[in-house]
Amino acid sequence: MIQTLKMVSKGNGKRVARISLIAIMEALFGSLPYGVLFFVLFDIINNSLTIEGFTGYTLIIILSAAFRTFFSFLGVTTARNDGNIMIKELRMGLGEHIRKLPLGFFNTHDMGDLSNKLLDNVNKIEMIITMLLPPMISTLVLNLLVAGVLFFLDYRMALAALITMPLSLLILTWARSVMDKQGRALYDSSSKLADCLLEFVNGIKFIKSFNNSDRKYQNLVTHLKDFKIKSLKTEGTLSPIMVLAGISIDFGLVMLILTGSYLMMGGTLSTKEFLIFIVISSRFFEGLKALSLNWVKVKYLGIAGESIMNILNEELMEGTGNDVSISEHTIAFRDVRFSYGDKEVLKGIDLRIKENTLTALVGPSGSGKSTMINLMARFFDVDSGEITIGSHNIKEIDPESLLKNISMVFQNVTLFSDTIYNNIRIGKPDATEEEIILAAQKANAHDFIQSLPGGYQTMVGENGANLSGGEKQRISIARAILKDTPIVLLDEATSSLDPENEIYIQEAISRLLLDKTVIVIAHRLKTIKEADRILVFREGEIVEEGEHSALLEQNGLYSRMWEEQENALGWTVGNQGSPQ
Cα separation, 232 vs 222, whole angstroms? 15
Cα separation, 440 vs 477, whole angstroms? 8
In a domain, 321, yes or no: no
| 3 state DSSP class of 374 | helix
**Among 378, 422, 426, which residue's Cα sits nearest to residue 402?**
378
349 and 274, same structural domain? no
In a domain, 577, yes or no: no
Query: What CATH number is attached to the domain comprising 13?
Result: 1.20.1560.10
**Among 325, 345, 323, 347, which residue's Cα sits nearest to residue 336?**
347
In a domain, 573, yes or no: no
363 and 252, same structural domain? no
pLDDT in tens, 182-235: 878 887 887 778 777 777 776 766 666 666 556 667 777 888 888 888 888 888
The pLDDT assigned to 579 comes to 47
The pLDDT assigned to 497 comes to 53
157 and 108, same structural domain? yes
In a domain, 119, yes or no: yes
DSSP 546: E
Cα separation, 41 vs 154, whole angstroms? 16
Burial call 498-530: b when 16+ CB within 10 Å, e when fewer: eeebbebbeebbeebbeebbbbbbbbebebbee
339 and 209, same structural domain? no
In a domain, 6, yes or no: yes
Burial call 48-67: b when 16+ CB within 10 Å, e when fewer: ebeeeeeeebeeeeeebeeb
Q: Write down which residue in 262, 283, 312 finishes a domain.
A: 312
372 and 292, same structural domain? no
The pLDDT assigned to 53 comes to 83
470 and 508, same structural domain? yes
pLDDT in tens, 263-307: 888 888 887 778 877 877 777 788 888 888 887 777 777 777 788
The pLDDT assigned to 332 comes to 92
286 and 353, same structural domain? no
Residue 543: give the domain boundaries: 331-568
Query: What CATH number is attached to the domain comprising 544?
Result: 3.40.50.300
475 and 337, same structural domain? yes
421 and 381, same structural domain? yes
In a domain, 580, yes or no: no
Cα separation, 316 vs 394, whole angstroms? 15
In a domain, 403, yes or no: yes
228 and 127, same structural domain? yes
pLDDT in tens, 133-191: 888 888 888 888 878 878 887 888 888 888 888 888 888 888 888 888 887 888 788 77
DSSP 166-225: HHHHHHHHHHHHHHHHHHHHHHHHHHHHHHHHHHHHHTHHHHHHTT-HHHHHHHHHHHHH
Cα separation, 340 vs 310, whole angstroms? 22
DSSP 515: T
CB-based contacts of 147, cutoff 8 Å, min separation 6: 158, 162, 284
281 and 399, same structural domain? no
Ranges of the chain with pLDDT below 50? 573, 575-580
In a domain, 443, yes or no: yes
8 Å CB contact between 386 and 395: yes
8 Å CB contact between 324 and 360: no
Domains of the chain: total: 2
338 and 301, same structural domain? no
Q: Write down which residue in 281, 312, 343 finishes a domain.
A: 312
